[in-house]
């Protein structure tokens, strides 16, 4: 090994052993083992978007596994509303049909401890932006993009509730 490689390895070991690293911990109080995800309100004209976002939130919490999602005597509740949704064409094809669009989804959320009545996270606003290329029909592509943007926003909400530096 070269002297430079040895120095880099020694520095890496020293940092690892010193505990000088970022760590994640949950922000949930110890007694919070389960939560209910209430159906989000929808302040937009886009029908069904609240169902997609709520379903994606439930899936994101279930995939994470640190807290159980349950409607039966939960320790906390996640509530929110979709404030805005927009889709704007970014480019057009040779047939003047939309080739690519940008979707923006904004929602407010809060997670409340049902034992203490205090907020665990939020109230807070989150925003996701997604650029999506049209494949097949515009309506089908928009549904696919709605699912994708709802999944991204749900992951951000779960991160905000469960994680802190």
**Cβ neighbours of residue 151 closer than 8 Å, sequence gap 6 or more:** 56, 59, 60
Mean pLDDT over the full length of the chain = 87
Token digits for 65?
């596994």
Whole-angstrom distance, CA of residue 83 vs CA of residue 81: 6
**Residue 96 above 60 pLDDT?**
yes
Rounded to an integer, the average pLDDT of 7-22 is 50
Q: What is the pLDDT of residue 28?
A: 83
CA dist., res. 110 & res. 94, Å (int): 45
**Tokens 């880099």 identify what position?**
8
Model pTM above 0.95: no
- Spatial separation of the C-alpha atoms in residues 95 and 158, rounded to whole Å: 41
The domain limits of the chain are 25-162
- What mean pLDDT comes out for the span 109-138? 95
CATH of 25-162, one of 3.40.1800.10, 3.30.70.260, 3.40.50.740, 3.30.160.150: 3.30.160.150
Please determine, for residue 158, whether its predicted confidence score (pLDDT) is greater than 90. Answer: yes
């Amino acid at each position: 090994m070269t002297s430079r490689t040895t120095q880099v390895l020694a520095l890496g070991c020293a940092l690892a052993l010193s505990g000088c690293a970022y760590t994640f911990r949950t922000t949930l109080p110890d007694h919070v083992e389960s939560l209910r995800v209430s159906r989000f309100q929808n302040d937009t004209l886009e029908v069904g978007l609240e169902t997609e976002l709520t379903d994606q939130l439930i899936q994101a919490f279930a995939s994470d596994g640190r807290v159980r999602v349950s409607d039966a005597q939960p320790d906390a509740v996640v509530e929110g509303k979709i404030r805005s949704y927009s889709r704007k064409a970014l480019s057009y094809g040779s047939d003047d049909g939309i080739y690519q669009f940008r979707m923006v989804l904004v929602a407010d959320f809060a997670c409340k401890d049902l034992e203490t009545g205090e907020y665990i996270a939020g109230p807070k606003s989150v925003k996701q932006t997604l650029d999506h290329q049209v494949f097949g029909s515009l309506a089908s592509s928009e549904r696919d993009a709605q699912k994708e943007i709802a999944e991204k926003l749900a992951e951000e909400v779960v991160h905000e509730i469960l994680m802190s530096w």
